[in-house]
Chains A and B, each alone.
Chain A
C-alpha cells in the first residue's frame, strides 16, 4: 500500500511538473503577438459593429508593445512555489547550535576544512545531505573549496565536466544559500573552470562575518 502511495506521489509530482511545463508553454503562447493579433482580428470579424472600429487602435497598441518582454502569471506562481520549498526558516530556528564564532557550511577538502576550522565553526556538507543540512543548520556562509573535487573525499570529482550528480548537488546548495541570502564563497586558488565560471561572493565576505 505504501509502495503504491509512493508511486502515486511520484506520478503526481511528475504530473505537476508536466502541467507546469504546459502552463508555461500556454502562457508563452497566449502572450505571443501572433496569437493576440489573431484574437483581435477574429473578434472584429465576429462582431464587426462593435469591434471593427477599435481594430486599428488595438492593432497599433499590439504593434507598439511587440518587443516588450512579458512574464506570464504561471511563471511567477511556479517560481514562488519553488521558493516555498527553500524559504521555510521556521524549522531551522528551532535547532540549537551554540557558538561564539561564525558558522560556515562547507563543501570542503581536508586541508580547507582544517584551515577554516581555526576561525569558524564548520558544518560539513556532503553530496547526500545538502538539503537536510542547509535547511536545518543556522549558517552564516556557504564555502566551496576549489579543491573539494580532488579524489579521496566525499566531493570527489566536483568540478569535473560531466559529473551531473555533483554538479546538481552544488547547484542545489548554492540555490538554497542564495534564497536564504547567505554569502556563497569560493575558497582557494586555481578552481576548476566549471566552478570558476559561477558567480561567487568575494572571499573578504568571510572576514566580515567575524
Chain B
C-alpha cells in the first residue's frame, strides 16, 4: 500500500479555497488506494472539515499540536518542515503532497527530497513578476519534487518555459469539486417566474460586486424580472467602495443580502438560484488558475455568467451564451437566457458537462494514473540487480527512471566520465554484483563489459547511429552479448550488414515518446503553424522546410514556421566548419530577404518545454537527409500534430508512409489539402493513436522490462510502415 502524507499550508478551521483543496486531495488519494496521513497546520478549533476526514477509511489525521510536536498557534513553514521530517522519520512515506511555495522550499532541502509531490500555487503569473528569487526557489522545488501538480494547462506550460527543471515532471491536477453529501443540485429546467441571480463570496471592486447590484434594475428595463441574492459578509475596506457596497447590499433595488454562511449553506443558496455570477474585472483574466466556485456552480446545475477568456472558452466552448466582459454584455446575456428557455438549458448543460471533468471520480482516475506510473507493479519477488553503463545517458533517462522505480529491480549506475574513460575499480565491482548489464552506446563501455562479463550474467547493448560508423561494433565480442538493441529496423539491418553478427543477436526496440506528457490541448489556429525541432547541422535541411513554407505562404500567409532549436552558431563544432557556415549564411539570407517568408519564420528558444511549445503547432516537419529514428515527428504526433516527412533512408520503417512525401512541394500540397479539406482534426487524431500504439512510453518500457527479465518475444516488427509489437501487446 502506498503511503502518502498531505500537508497544505492551510488552516482547516477556516473554510476557504485552500482548505477545500486539502479536503479534496485527501479524499482523492484515499480513493486512489493510498494510506493517507493528513498533518494539520493549526490546532483544531472546529471539526467541520477535519471530522469528516477522520471518518474516512485509510485516512489518519495528525495534529502536531495535540501530539506535542510543536508549540501553540499555526505552524510556520520552517517549523512545519521540521515536524513533517520527524513524522516521516518514524515510518517513511512513499510520497508527500505539499502545497505552499514557502513550505515546499523548506522541504526541498530536507529528507523528503525526491518524494515531494508539490502542488504549485502562489507562483508568479507573468514574465515581469519572475525575479531571481522566484526562479531559484522554484528550481530547487522542482529538483526536489518527484511530481509537480499544476492546476491548469496554462500554469503548467508557463512554469515549464520559465523554469526548465519543471519540464517532464509537471502533470495536471485541476481543482476537485466535492459537493456536500446531502446537497441536491438545482432541478433541471429553465426558470419560471423571477430570474434568481446568485453571487457568493467576498465583496470587492475587482469582483464587480457593486456593479452586480445594479443588474435587477437594468434587467427590469429590458423586460426581465430578476432579483439578486448575495451571500457573504466580507466587504473590502476601500474608500469609495465599502460604504456604497454595504448600502447596495442593504437596500439595493431587487437585491437580497443573505449575509455570511458556511460553505454548504452558500452552495445550497446557489442551487436554489437560476444563474450564478462570476463576472469579474478584466485584470482577473490574466490569472493562470481556475475558479473552483465556477465549477461548483456547474456541478450544481446552475449556469454561470463569467468573463470570456481562453481558459473559459476551452471549458465551456466558444459559443457558450453567458460570456460577458462588460455590464452591457452581462445584461444582454441575462436578457437572452431570461427570455429563451432552450438557451438557458443549453448553458446549464454546458456547465454540468464542464464540471464533470472536475469531479472526485475524475480526480481519482487522474491520481491512479500518476501513482501507477510512479510505483509500477512488480513482476516477481525479489530484486533483479541491474547495472546501466554509459558516458551519456540523455537518450536513456526515462527508461532509467522506470527501471529505478520498479520494486523488482535494483539499479546501479556506472557513469563513464567520457566515452573512453571510466573507473575500472567501480566497473569491476559492479560487474561482479549485477545480474544484468545494459550498456547505453555500443562503445568502449560495451567492449569492457563484454570482456569482463560474469558467467550467467546478461549483457544488453543499445546501439545508435553514431557508433555504427565509429568502428567500435567491429571490435565487440558478440558472443558475450545477449542482445544488441537498435531503434529502427533500418539501423538493425545496417548493423547486421556491417558487422555480420547473427540475426538473432539484434533486436529492435524503438525510441519512446512520453505520450502522456505530450497529450495537451492544441491552441486555436494551430493548424496553420508548422514546427521543426532542431535545424543544425545542415543535414537537418532547414532549407527544405523553407521550401515547404514558401509554397504554402504563396496561397495563405497564415502559414508560419516555428523553429525550436539552438541556432547553428551556438554549436561551435558546427560553426567552425566552413561548409556548414556557408549553408546557414545562405539559408538565413533567404529568411531575411524573401518577401514570401517575411514574418513567416519564428526562432523560438531551445529548451525542455517542447510539449508545451507543441500546443501551438499543427504539423511537425522532418526534412533531414538522414536520421536513425527522428523523435520530433513522433513527439508531434503525441501532441496531436500531423507529422510531415521527406523520405530519409529508413523513414518508412519508422513512420507510416502516409506521412512521407516525395518532395517539399508534395509536402506543401498535402498540408494545404489537409487544412483546406477540413481533415486536420481527423488526421491528427489518427496520428496520435498510431504513435501511442507504436512508441508510447509504457509500450517501450514494457518491451525493455521483458528484455531485462529475459522474455525475448518482444521483438518489434514492421507493419504497414510503422513498428508494432506482436502478440497483442501494442493494443493494451
- Determine whether A154 belongs to the interface, using a CB cutoff of 8 Å to chain B: yes
The complex places the Cα of A124 from the Cα of B605 at a distance, in Å, of: 19
Tell which of B309, B524, B573 touches A193, judged by Cβ atoms closer than 8 Å.
B309
CB-CB under 8 A from B309, the residues of chain A are 161, 193
In contact, A164 and B161 (Cβ under 8 angstroms) = yes
- Determine whether A64 belongs to the interface, using a CB cutoff of 8 Å to chain B: no
Task: List residues of A (81-126) whose CB comes within 8 Å of B's CBs.
Answer: 110, 124, 126
- Determine whether B711 belongs to the interface, using a CB cutoff of 8 Å to chain A: no
Instruction: Please encode chain B, from 602 to 628, with 1 for each CB lying within 8 Å of some chain A CB and 0 for all others.
Output: 111100000000001000000000000
- Determine whether B466 belongs to the interface, using a CB cutoff of 8 Å to chain A: no
In contact, A152 and B525 (Cβ under 8 angstroms) = yes
In contact, B153 and A162 (Cβ under 8 angstroms) = yes
A161-B285 CB under 8 A given contacts A156-B616, A171-B128: yes
In contact, B523 and A151 (Cβ under 8 angstroms) = yes
**Residue of A153, A161, A171 most packed against chain B (CB within 10 A):** A161
CB-CB under 8 A from B154, the residues of chain A are 161-162
CB-CB under 8 A from B161, the residues of chain A are 164-165
The complex places the Cα of A3 from the Cα of B573 at a distance, in Å, of: 8
The complex places the Cα of A124 from the Cα of B598 at a distance, in Å, of: 10
In chain A, what residue has the closest Cβ to B307? A193
Instruction: Please encode chain B, from 581 to 601, with 1 for each CB lying within 8 Å of some chain A CB and 0 for all others.
Output: 000000000000000001111
Tell which of B311, B558, B600 touches A151, judged by Cβ atoms closer than 8 Å.
B558
Q: B726 to nearest A CB, angstroms?
A: 42
- Determine whether B283 belongs to the interface, using a CB cutoff of 8 Å to chain A: yes
The complex places the Cα of A153 from the Cα of B602 at a distance, in Å, of: 9
A193-B127 CB under 8 A given contacts A152-B558, A153-B599, A161-B288: no
Q: A169 to nearest B CB, angstroms?
A: 8
The complex places the Cα of A194 from the Cα of B127 at a distance, in Å, of: 11
Task: List residues of A (113-167) whose CB comes within 8 Å of B's CBs.
Answer: 124, 126-128, 150-154, 156-157, 160-165, 167
- Determine whether B317 belongs to the interface, using a CB cutoff of 8 Å to chain A: no
In contact, B602 and A127 (Cβ under 8 angstroms) = yes
The complex places the Cα of A157 from the Cα of B157 at a distance, in Å, of: 13
A21-B132 CB under 8 A given contacts A160-B523, A161-B287, A165-B161: yes
In contact, B282 and A157 (Cβ under 8 angstroms) = no
In contact, B599 and A3 (Cβ under 8 angstroms) = no
**Residue of B127, B310, B311 most packed against chain A (CB within 10 A):** B127
In contact, B525 and A162 (Cβ under 8 angstroms) = no
- Determine whether B162 belongs to the interface, using a CB cutoff of 8 Å to chain A: yes
The complex places the Cα of A153 from the Cα of B524 at a distance, in Å, of: 13
- Determine whether A46 belongs to the interface, using a CB cutoff of 8 Å to chain B: no
- Determine whether A197 belongs to the interface, using a CB cutoff of 8 Å to chain B: yes
- Determine whether A196 belongs to the interface, using a CB cutoff of 8 Å to chain B: yes
A150-B128 CB under 8 A given contacts A128-B603, A164-B158: no
A152-B560 CB under 8 A given contacts A161-B288, A165-B605, A167-B127: yes
CB-CB under 8 A from A196, the residues of chain B are 282-283
The complex places the Cα of A43 from the Cα of B287 at a distance, in Å, of: 49
- Determine whether A6 belongs to the interface, using a CB cutoff of 8 Å to chain B: yes
In contact, A151 and B132 (Cβ under 8 angstroms) = no
What's the interface size class on B, roughly? 35 or more
A161-B311 CB under 8 A given contacts A126-B602, A156-B525: yes
In contact, B599 and A154 (Cβ under 8 angstroms) = yes
- Determine whether B732 belongs to the interface, using a CB cutoff of 8 Å to chain A: no
In contact, A163 and B157 (Cβ under 8 angstroms) = yes
In chain A, what residue has the closest Cβ to B575? A2
In chain A, what residue has the closest Cβ to B570? A6
In contact, A167 and B126 (Cβ under 8 angstroms) = yes
In contact, B523 and A194 (Cβ under 8 angstroms) = no
- Determine whether B497 belongs to the interface, using a CB cutoff of 8 Å to chain A: no
The complex places the Cα of A87 from the Cα of B145 at a distance, in Å, of: 40
- Determine whether A20 belongs to the interface, using a CB cutoff of 8 Å to chain B: yes
Task: List residues of A (11-40) whose CB comes within 8 Å of B's CBs.
Answer: 17-18, 20-21
In contact, A193 and B523 (Cβ under 8 angstroms) = no
CB-CB under 8 A from B573, the residues of chain A are 3
- Determine whether A168 belongs to the interface, using a CB cutoff of 8 Å to chain B: yes
Instruction: Please encode chain A, from 157 to 197, with 1 for each CB lying within 8 Å of some chain B CB and 0 for all others.
Output: 10011111101101100000000000000000000111011
In contact, A160 and B132 (Cβ under 8 angstroms) = no
In contact, A156 and B560 (Cβ under 8 angstroms) = yes
CB-CB under 8 A from A156, the residues of chain B are 525, 529, 560, 616
CB-CB under 8 A from A21, the residues of chain B are 132-133, 136
The complex places the Cα of A196 from the Cα of B288 at a distance, in Å, of: 16
CB-CB under 8 A from B283, the residues of chain A are 193, 196-197
CB-CB under 8 A from A192, the residues of chain B are 285
- Determine whether B252 belongs to the interface, using a CB cutoff of 8 Å to chain A: no
In contact, B616 and A161 (Cβ under 8 angstroms) = no
In chain A, what residue has the closest Cβ to B153? A162
In contact, B132 and A20 (Cβ under 8 angstroms) = yes
- Determine whether B291 belongs to the interface, using a CB cutoff of 8 Å to chain A: no
Tell which of A18, A126, A152 touches B557, judged by Cβ atoms closer than 8 Å.
A152
- Determine whether B707 belongs to the interface, using a CB cutoff of 8 Å to chain A: no
Q: A68 to nearest B CB, angstroms?
A: 23
In chain A, what residue has the closest Cβ to B152? A162
Q: B182 to nearest A CB, angstroms?
A: 37
In contact, B616 and A193 (Cβ under 8 angstroms) = no
In chain B, what residue has the closest Cβ to A170? B127
Tell which of B127, B282, B311, B572 touches A2, judged by Cβ atoms closer than 8 Å.
B572
In contact, A151 and B286 (Cβ under 8 angstroms) = no
In chain A, what residue has the closest Cβ to B599? A154
CB-CB under 8 A from B570, the residues of chain A are 6
The complex places the Cα of A156 from the Cα of B530 at a distance, in Å, of: 12
In chain A, what residue has the closest Cβ to B602? A154
In chain A, what residue has the closest Cβ to B156? A162
The complex places the Cα of A164 from the Cα of B287 at a distance, in Å, of: 13
In contact, B286 and A194 (Cβ under 8 angstroms) = yes
Q: A162 to nearest B CB, angstroms?
A: 3
**Residue of A21, A128, A156, A171 most packed against chain B (CB within 10 A):** A156
CB-CB under 8 A from A163, the residues of chain B are 157-158
- Determine whether B526 belongs to the interface, using a CB cutoff of 8 Å to chain A: yes
In chain A, what residue has the closest Cβ to B562? A156
In contact, A128 and B599 (Cβ under 8 angstroms) = no
The complex places the Cα of A150 from the Cα of B128 at a distance, in Å, of: 22
CB-CB under 8 A from A17, the residues of chain B are 132
The complex places the Cα of A203 from the Cα of B357 at a distance, in Å, of: 44
Q: B482 to nearest A CB, angstroms?
A: 36
The complex places the Cα of A157 from the Cα of B528 at a distance, in Å, of: 13
Q: A131 to nearest B CB, angstroms?
A: 13
The complex places the Cα of A2 from the Cα of B572 at a distance, in Å, of: 6
Q: B130 to nearest A CB, angstroms?
A: 8
- Determine whether B155 belongs to the interface, using a CB cutoff of 8 Å to chain A: yes
Task: List residues of B (301-339) whose CB comes within 8 Å of A's CBs.
Answer: 309-311
A154-B136 CB under 8 A given contacts A2-B572, A165-B605: no
CB-CB under 8 A from B602, the residues of chain A are 126-128, 154
Q: B680 to nearest A CB, angstroms?
A: 13
The complex places the Cα of A41 from the Cα of B698 at a distance, in Å, of: 64
CB-CB under 8 A from A164, the residues of chain B are 127, 157-158, 161-162
The complex places the Cα of A170 from the Cα of B127 at a distance, in Å, of: 9
CB-CB under 8 A from A160, the residues of chain B are 310, 523
In contact, A197 and B523 (Cβ under 8 angstroms) = no
CB-CB under 8 A from A3, the residues of chain B are 572-573
User: Could you tell me which B residues sit within 8 Å of A by CB distance?
Assistant: 125-128, 132-133, 136, 152-155, 157-158, 161-162, 282-288, 309-311, 523-526, 528-529, 557-560, 570, 572-573, 576, 598-605, 616
**Closest 3 interchain pairs by CB?**
A151-B525, A152-B558, A162-B154
Identify 20 residue pairs between A and B in the complex whose beta-carbon atoms are under 8 Å apart, listed by A's number: A6-B570, A20-B132, A127-B603, A128-B602, A151-B558, A152-B529, A152-B558, A153-B558, A156-B529, A156-B616, A157-B523, A160-B310, A162-B155, A162-B158, A164-B158, A168-B127, A170-B127, A193-B282, A194-B126, A194-B285
Q: A151-B616, A154-B599, A171-B128 are in contact. List 17 more A-B contacts (CB 8 A).
A: A124-B598, A151-B523, A151-B524, A152-B559, A154-B600, A161-B285, A161-B287, A162-B154, A163-B157, A164-B158, A164-B162, A165-B604, A167-B126, A167-B128, A192-B285, A194-B285, A197-B286
